[in-house]
Structure 1
């Protein structure tokens, strides 16, 4: 993807397949005998369309930020945009606000375009039937309305699926609300596929997309519920090898050879001090510094996690960080260590 900027502190990328869309649009104009002016206008319209899509995604991202949820990035694809939130809020009021914010932006854009058309005296709402021609403002207005209607289809992964789940979650558990919303989405998807087979192949594509998206969301929430039943104590290693802060480099080298771990925790009694890396020990051995204390080599910037950390919170920490392992501390006392090895033991949902 091509990085195009970081408005409001959120990175925005355009996927390379946009080149194919530009080529296709230009070819369609040439097929209709259009010249450079029409091609340029068509590409400006394409840029305006995806500006609306980008604003839609920023609606989600900035609303989520109000609830302390950041957005990793926004990716623009030929089929639309994706705002990758760190997570969706589980409070139904917050999820409803985040989900509906995107379509609300398109409603505002459509209203603004309509007022602009009235101001310019463009009351003729006869719309172009092709992407290569028509009333620029009217076509853009209608596309924003289409974006609203399409995104509010009550099926994952569209916004409407999340709106439906949020509304259901006011009356039932979120996992149950997800299952109901996913079932509604898959039922609609089957309808799209059926009509697509006989009337419009594009509906067939949408149906498959919705069916898979609904199933993926249900699986994701099921996995979250499974993880919540697992505590940090169920996964962390209490026998993880540690070194005293007074240990020498040669002692640390022996411990690394025996444990075959890339990092070891350093303690002062049971008090956590930091972490030392195998690479630093090797470097010291090559220099002949066999008796140097490991306290001089520790990385005290390694992030620790408290004992009451949930597994889904831990997964977020691993996602944000390149750390191999997280020391688990309780009142600055090392009680265990959890590494990427332990995460591989997490169960998958049925």
Structure 2
């Protein structure tokens, strides 16, 4: 699940919910790690917390710059970016029509992929250079006298130097590490571009994702014995590879599919005059958690089981559905692309959308189940020709291959 935080250069920026967990984890690691790799021992404790969170936040900002460099260069090639979903050590750039040949052209893919690592390396050198200009050191922080009282300006300067060093060093590591040909790192995107010359974009992504997962597992095992930071990074890489693989599969499988193609047309509705107590029984009978609410055939809202949880049992006999329903109906049209509807669900944190036709009449309802069913069906029924230009020939029976050869001879 992701939520939107901003729009930069026309590109919507989203943060995945797992980012909050990883953000706090990194802040915690900075808090317990000693100088010069963290702020353990800094007093008062509030100052230590502030510097730990600031280090995590600054790294998030530089990560955003990293992803924007990818996306802005992609838009210069005419590739539309539908949005960026950020994790802590990477991000997902949702591109329009990922099967388009221009999306996987090696020369363009190479430039787009390297734009991010290059920006991270430049930012890393910039922060380390700033540390040197201000404190005379690239690595760590300036040495200070142990006799200086805790909380003095000299101690504060040392902590600022550690902050600059951490952000600079992390960006250098991010930039260099991303060049490795392992998905979802940028080097892995170059690998995917090369694979896409032999397979479809989706198949190339699947191979690159599996390669990334295997690498992450090996790195996690090594990290457990030698460096817990490495193990933490490996866990994130595995999650990122899996999430981006799902995102690409979703985009691919919902391409050219509209809401009208997959929505449920026989919709059960409730009248806004229904008593809440009767609605409870209605839910048990129909076994759905949510319903459109109508008045004289016109949709006036939606109501779910969650909406009535806050109403005590005594009041349920006096209140109507109109009193408990949500009036801000989140709707789509039948001709809306299914992928757009999927993104609308994620942005609004809802599990279903009301489908209204041009006259605002109820045409159907689209649930996550409808979307997942469409994705799974299209995945299982995908033509083998999508797996690559030579796949069909390699897997034809011998007699069919002979027929093709005879045709070529003739």
Structure 1 residues 45 and 105, CA gap change in structure 2 (3 angstroms):
farther
Task: Name the structure 2 match of 1:78.
Answer: none
Task: Name the structure 1 match of 2:355.
Answer: 328
Task: Name the structure 1 match of 2:406.
Answer: none
Task: Name the structure 1 match of 2:303.
Answer: 277
Stretch moving more, 260-269 or 301-310: 260-269
Task: Name the structure 1 match of 2:178.
Answer: 151
Task: Name the structure 1 match of 2:59.
Answer: 53
2:328 counterpart SS class: coil
Structure 1 residue 302 displacement after superposition: 0.5
Structure 1 residues 98 and 51, CA gap change in structure 2 (3 angstroms):
farther
With structure 2 as the length reference, what TM-score do the two structures score? 0.53
Task: Name the structure 2 match of 1:302.
Answer: 329
Distance 1:176 1:268 in 2: 50
* Unpaired runs of at least 5, structure 1: 76-80
Q: Which has the higher contact order (CA 8 A, sep 6+)?
A: 2
Structure 1 residues 43 and 158, CA gap change in structure 2 (3 angstroms):
farther
Distance 2:303 2:134 in 1: 68
Instruction: State the Cα deviation string for residues 286-336 of structure 1 (Å, max 9, x = none).
Output: 05x8xxxx8899755312112133433322222222445322223233221
Whether the 8 Å CA contact 1:324–1:339 is kept in 2: the answer is: yes
Distance 1:145 1:259 in 2: 57
Distance 1:248 1:144 in 2: 56
Instruction: State the Cα deviation string for residues 78-110 of structure 1 (Å, max 9, x = none).
Output: xxx24666x522453898777545423322224
Task: Name the structure 1 match of 2:365.
Answer: 337
1:263 counterpart SS class: strand
Stretch moving more, 166-175 or 145-154: 166-175
Structure 1 residue 149 displacement after superposition: 0.8
1:15 counterpart SS class: helix
Whether the 8 Å CA contact 2:30–2:52 is kept in 1: the answer is: no
Of the three residues 286, 293, 296, the one matched with 2:318 is 286
> 2:24 matched to 1:18?
no
Structure 1 residue 219 displacement after superposition: 5.1
RMSD value over aligned CA atoms?
A: 5.7
Whether the 8 Å CA contact 2:354–2:365 is kept in 1: the answer is: yes
Distance 2:195 2:124 in 1: 29
* Unpaired runs of at least 5, structure 2: 141-157, 381-410
Structure 1 residues 173 and 35, CA gap change in structure 2 (3 angstroms):
closer
Structure 1 residue 158 displacement after superposition: 2.2
Task: Name the structure 2 match of 1:107.
Answer: 121
Structure 1 residues 259 and 26, CA gap change in structure 2 (3 angstroms):
same
Whether the 8 Å CA contact 2:258–2:334 is kept in 1: the answer is: no
With structure 1 as the length reference, what TM-score do the two structures score? 0.60
Stretch moving more, 171-180 or 42-51: 42-51
Structure 1 residues 108 and 264, CA gap change in structure 2 (3 angstroms):
same
Instruction: State the Cα deviation string for residues 163-184 of structure 1 (Å, max 9, x = none).
Output: 5435765886421331343355
Structure 1 residues 152 and 268, CA gap change in structure 2 (3 angstroms):
farther
Structure 1 residue 242 displacement after superposition: 3.5
Q: Count residues with an aligned counterpart.
A: 316
Distance 2:275 2:55 in 1: 64
